[in-house]
Amino acid sequence: MKKIAVLTSGGDAPGMNAAIRAVVRYGIGVGMEVVGVERGLQGLIDNAFKPMYMRSVSDIIQRGGTILKTARCPEFKTLEGQKKAIENLRANGVEGIIVIGGDGSFMGAKAMSEHGFPSIGIPGTIDNDLAYTDYTLGFDTACNTILDAINKIRDTMSSHERVSIIEVMGRNCGDLALYCGLCGGAEVIIVPEHKLTIDEIVETLGGGQQHGKTSGIIVLAEGAGHADDLKDELNKRMDLTVKTTRLGHIQRGGSPSCRDRYLGTCFGVNAVKLLEKGIGNRIVGIKDNKFYDMDIVEGCAMQNTFDLELYETAAIVGR
Ligand code: ADP
Ligand code: F6P
């Protein structure tokens, strides 16, 4: 292929810029023209293409967000929207596209593949909710941001002898809560994949009190409920001062970690290598510490599994 496009779609994630940089620099390096599409899949419909050069991606590897902007695009779920996008790609002489985004964006990439336009997906979402890859771009940075918040909240909870419920993102996936709960020493972790009853939560907190704990951290995944609802329930059952924090979008920003710059760079290069060989309809990922790629239809159909063993470990060491 001589001309390829790259876009970022859905929720932004730290490391997307590292991936864009790698796509542009590796693509140009092997003699391709690379165009950026602004505002994700919406930009394909709006014809928002811009040529990318070596210097277009200078000074971005350390920046969170995405220089190409991102958007959610309901129109792309329609056949008309998808056809318009492919028409615009072809009119611009583009032969293959790299979509950096989460499971929704991958459905868009899959649709283009199914219409005969070669597409490659790079997993970019803080949620870590794509089954075919062990890690998605942005997850590590988001974990570190959340941990920083947990540490700070723990300082004050401990001083005042209070319990804090910290609600984290992840949509329907509990990975952010699990990893941050484990690494932040949370007393209780609540995830959508393994719901706890209020009795179980009360029992765990009560057990901690019996062992001398005077404060605590509950990490609650947004997909498992709301912090304020849980606070009301706990207040009915226990004599504790409970505070809540919804971390919100702070979790999605910030300079990407070393790990996310590394993943972004390697995912980007691997995606271009496939298009360079004329291969489309794949998604790139990392499994057992090895980069690999798989069929986009198969990958999108895989069901995410939750690491229950790690969850149980976190419960034991958080007591
Ligand atoms: P993410 O990619 O982070 O999961 P979304 O779920 O919001 O984010 O999806 C991003 C975009 O992907 C949507 O706004 C839409 O344009 C596109 N998309 C989602 N689902 C589909 C689908 N079934 N078919 C085609 N495009 C889709
Ligand atoms: O998919 C990434 C994510 O941050 C989810 O964790 C969260 O549920 C959602 O996006 C928030 O979306 P928005 O930024 O549109 O509020």
Query: Tens digits of per-residue pLDDT, 97-129?
Result: 999 999 999 999 999 999 999 999 999 999 999
Ligand 2 contact via 102 beta carbon (within 6 Å): yes
Render pLDDT for 152-191 as a digit per residue (tens, 0 to 9).
999 999 999 999 999 999 999 999 999 999 999 999 999 9
Give the pLDDT confidence score for residue 272 in this predicted structure. 98
Tell me the H-state helices in 92-166: 103-114, 139-160
Q: In which residue are the tokens 């723990």 written?
A: 154
Q: Which atom of ligand 2 is nearest to the CA of 126?
A: 2
Q: Which ligand is nearest to the CA of 115?
A: 1
In this prediction, residue 268 has a pLDDT band, given cuts at 50, 70 and 90, of very high
Q: Provide the whole-model pTM.
A: 0.97
Residue numbers annotated as active site: 127
Ligand 2 contact via 127 beta carbon (within 6 Å): yes
Asked if 165 and 227 count as a contact pair (C-beta separation under 8 A), the reply is yes
3-state secondary structure of 61: coil
Distance 175 CA to ligand 1 centre (A): 20
Give the pLDDT confidence score for residue 265 in this predicted structure. 98
DSSP at 255: P
- What phi and psi, each to the nearest 5 degrees, are found at residue 247? -70, -35
Mean per-residue pLDDT over the chain, rounded: 97
Tell me the best of 45, 72, 296, 304 to mutate to test the pocket of ligand 1, counting ligand atoms within 8 Å of each CB and taking the most: 72
Query: Which protein residue has the closest C-alpha to ligand 2 atom 13?
Result: 11
In this prediction, residue 16 has a pLDDT band, given cuts at 50, 70 and 90, of very high
How far is 167 from 154, CA to CA, in rounded Å?
A: 14
Distance 94 CA to ligand 2 centre (A): 30
Tell me the best of 106, 143, 171 to mutate to test the pocket of ligand 2, counting ligand atoms within 8 Å of each CB and taking the most: 171
Buried (b) or exposed (e) across 168-190, using 16+ Cβ within 10 A?
bbbbebbbbbbbbbbebbbbbbb
Asked if 184 and 142 count as a contact pair (C-beta separation under 8 A), the reply is no
Q: Which ligand is nearest to the CA of 146?
A: 2
- What phi and psi, each to the nearest 5 degrees, are found at residue 237? -105, -25
Tell me the two tokens of residue 200: 């179980």
Tell me the best of 44, 84, 107 to mutate to test the pocket of ligand 1, counting ligand atoms within 8 Å of each CB and taking the most: 107
